[in-house]
């Protein structure tokens, strides 16, 4: 795992606990129930880190002991947007941290003739331009799907600095490609792999996240 390569890439602290979680989900022999359980733990950490970057305003409250506590309140509304289907695995982790959060979906698939990503479907909250957006996709490999999804959000009026791209693993190439187009979008990730292999897969990676999370 690499160190933080860019001012707008936020890498989770590389603790022994986190390394242990990644060791489990990267293991090809890990069974699906364990893969889901430990992936969900990482997703929760990513959501919490994303929330750390939301703006706040000072707020003073009175405690049950009649004392004054000077804290903060979050500013603005958020929503999650998952890149279907693998990104949907991250929706529950967001819901567990943010009650009644709105969720949007974007479906992007590879065109078999051109081998390029193609937008097939989008369903987003009407007021998404007024929200902070957590873009959800477990893997950032080449960055093609993520860039197309981000284009969709920006065309709907979302400011790049209000977008947080949450993923479990990314490649240096993907970060470079993505930030060459969207330098103001914050990437929140748990691991930066060494590279992409000759097939454009993350290395060491963990395989197809969606297949391992959803398929029996």
DSSP conformation class of 87: G
Tell me, yes or no, whether 34 lies in a domain: yes
State the pLDDT at residue 3.
44
Tell me, yes or no, whether 4 lies in a domain: no
Question: Annotated catalytic, 27?
Answer: no
Prediction pTM value: 0.92
State the pLDDT at residue 25.
97
Mean pLDDT of 54-77: 95
Tell me, yes or no, whether 14 lies in a domain: yes
Tens digits of per-residue pLDDT, 133-168? Answer: 999 999 999 999 999 999 999 999 999 999 999 999
Domain range for 37: 9-214
Task: Exactly one of 41, 95, 142, 208 is catalytic; name it.
Answer: 208
CATH number, residue 19: 3.40.50.2020
Tell me, yes or no, whether 123 lies in a domain: yes
> Which H or E run includes 109?
strand 102-110
Highest mean pLDDT among 2-16, 81-95, 111-125: 81-95
Residue 216 confidence (pLDDT) above 60: no
Residues 6+ apart with CB under 8 A from 36: 89, 213
Task: Exactly one of 27, 127, 151, 211 is catalytic; name it.
Answer: 211
State the pLDDT at residue 1.
41
Task: Exactly one of 110, 111, 127, 130 is catalytic; name it.
Answer: 110
Total structural domains within the chain: 1
Tell me, yes or no, whether 97 lies in a domain: yes
Question: Annotated catalytic, 211?
Answer: yes
Tell me, yes or no, whether 3 lies in a domain: no
More confident residue, 99 or 185: 185
Tell me, yes or no, whether 134 lies in a domain: yes
Tell me, yes or no, whether 55 lies in a domain: yes
Residue 49 confidence (pLDDT) above 60: yes
């Amino acid at each position: 795992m690499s160190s933080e390569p860019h001012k707008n890439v936020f890498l989770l602290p590389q603790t022994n606990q986190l390394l242990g979680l990644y060791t489990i989900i990267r293991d090809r022999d890990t069974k699906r129930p364990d893969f889901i359980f430990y992936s969900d733990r990482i997703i929760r950490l990513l959501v919490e880190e994303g929330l750390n970057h939301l703006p706040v305003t000072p707020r003073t409250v009175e405690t049950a002991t009649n004392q004054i506590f000077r804290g903060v309140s979050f500013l603005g509304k958020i929503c999650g947007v998952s890149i279907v289907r693998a990104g949907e695995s991250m929706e529950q982790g967001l819901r567990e941290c943010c009650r009644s959060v709105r969720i949007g979906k974007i479906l992007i698939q590879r065109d078999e003739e051109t081998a390029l990503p193609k937008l097939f479907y989008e369903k987003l909250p009407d007021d998404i331009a007024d929200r902070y957006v957590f873009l959800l996709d477990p893997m950032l490999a080449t960055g093609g799907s993520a860039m197309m999804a981000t284009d969709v959000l920006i065309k709907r009026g979302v400011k790049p600095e209000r977008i947080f791209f949450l993923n479990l693993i990314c490649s240096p190439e993907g970060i470079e490609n993505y930030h060459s187009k969207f330098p103001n979008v914050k990437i929140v990730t748990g691991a930066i792999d060494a590279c992409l292999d000759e097939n454009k897969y993350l290395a060491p990676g963990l395989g197809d996240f969606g297949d391992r999370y959803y398929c029996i």
